[in-house]
Amino acid sequence: MKRILSLALVLTMAVTTVRADISMPVKDNFYDKMGRGIADIMVSSSELLDSQYGMIDTEGNTTAFCKGFLAQGLSRMVMDIGQGVFEVVTSPFPTNNGSYRSQKSAPYDSMVINGYPPADLKDWY
């Protein structure tokens, strides 16, 4: 009896891993565009610290504060607010060649290699 149950369990697990989702990806819609716009407005202040933190290792603390916080961070924050307002206002209308995708590009100088946090943030709490 135990063998039959274990065989049934193994077969069930094999069948569930074989199935695939072959449906088309969901396209962005009105709610996605409005949500992105609201998120851009609400989280825009994080660009101040993010820009500074990215420069601490490469250019030093003083440059990171002056260039990263005051110049690049403030400009990115203002641009994020502007992009967010644009997306909220135009959310009922598709603007990007008939779709609701974002027109915001990734920053060219982000120097992001992978999505993992740096090692010095291991035990930040």
pLDDT in tens, 18-65: 565 566 667 888 888 899 999 999 998 888 888 788 788 777 888 888
pLDDT at 118 over 60: no
* pTM recorded for the entire structure: 0.61
Phi-psi region of 102 (alpha: psi -120 to 50; beta: other; left: phi over 0): beta
Closest CA to 77 of 89, 88, 68, 65: 68
Residues forming a β-bridge with 99 = 96
Q: Once rounded to an integer, what is the mean pLDDT over residues 101-123? A: 60
pLDDT at 78 over 80: yes
Residue 26: what pLDDT? 73
Residue 3: what pLDDT? 83
Q: Once rounded to an integer, what is the mean pLDDT over residues 5-19? A: 71
Domain ranges of the chain: 30-93
Is the pLDDT higher at 117 or at 93?
A: 93
CA distance 99 to 101: 6
pLDDT confidence of 85, banded at 50, 70, 90? very high
CA distances to 122, 123, 124 from 119, rounded to whole Å, are: 5, 9, 10
Most confident of 91-95, 114-118, 120-124: 91-95
